[in-house]
Chains A and B, each alone.
Chain A
Amino acid sequence: MGTSQAIYAGWMEIPNSAVSERAYTQAEEAVLAELVSQYSGVLYRVAFSVLRNPSDAEDAVQEAFLRVLRHRDTLGEVRDHRVWLIRIVWNIVLDRKRRAKTRPETDDVSELARVLPTGGLSAEEIAAAAQHHAHVLACVEQLPVKERQVLQLSAFEELSSVEIATVLGITESSVRSRLFRARNLMAGLLDHARSLR
Chain B
Amino acid sequence: MNPHNQDPFLSNSVSETVDATLRLIANLPAPEGLSDRVQAGLRVQQRRGRVLAWPSALTPASTWMRSAAAAAIVVVVVGGGWGVYSRVQPLQPARVIATPPHAATPGDFSNAGAMRKPQTLVGPVAPQAAAVVSPHTKASGKATTLPARDKKSAAVTGTADQH
Contact = CB atoms under 8 A, between A and B. Distances in A.
A181 B102 CA distance: 103
B34 A155 contact: no
Chain A interface size, under 10 / 10 to 19 / 20 to 34 / 35 or more: 35 or more
A152 interface: yes
A88 interface: no
B5 A154 contact: yes
Interface stretch (B21-29, B66-74, B84-92, B116-124): B21-29
Interface stretch (B35-43, B75-83, B134-142, B143-151): B35-43
Interface in A1-59: 18, 29, 32-33, 36-37, 40-41, 44-46, 48-49, 52, 54, 58
Determine which residue in A152, A187, A191 has the highest number of CB atoms from chain B within 10 A of its CB, and name it: A187
Contacts of A154: 1-2, 5, 22
Given A48-B25, A179-B5, A140 B34 contact: no
B56 interface: yes
A184 B26 contact: no
A65 interface: yes
Contacts of A116: 24, 28
Contacts of B17: 136, 190
A161 B4 contact: yes
B7 A183 contact: yes
B21 A136 contact: yes
A66 B35 contact: no
Chain B interface size, under 10 / 10 to 19 / 20 to 34 / 35 or more: 20 to 34
Interface of A is mostly: helix
Interface of B is mostly: helix
Interface stretch (B8-16, B104-112, B153-161): B8-16
A183 B18 CA distance: 8
Contact of B28 (A45, A151, A191): A45
Interface of A: 18, 29, 32-33, 36-37, 40-41, 44-46, 48-49, 52, 54, 58, 61-62, 65-66, 69, 115-117, 132-133, 136-137, 139-140, 151-152, 154-157, 159-161, 175-176, 179-180, 183-184, 186-187, 190-191
Interface of B: 1-2, 4-5, 7, 9-11, 14-15, 17-19, 21-31, 34-35, 37-39, 41-42, 45-46, 56
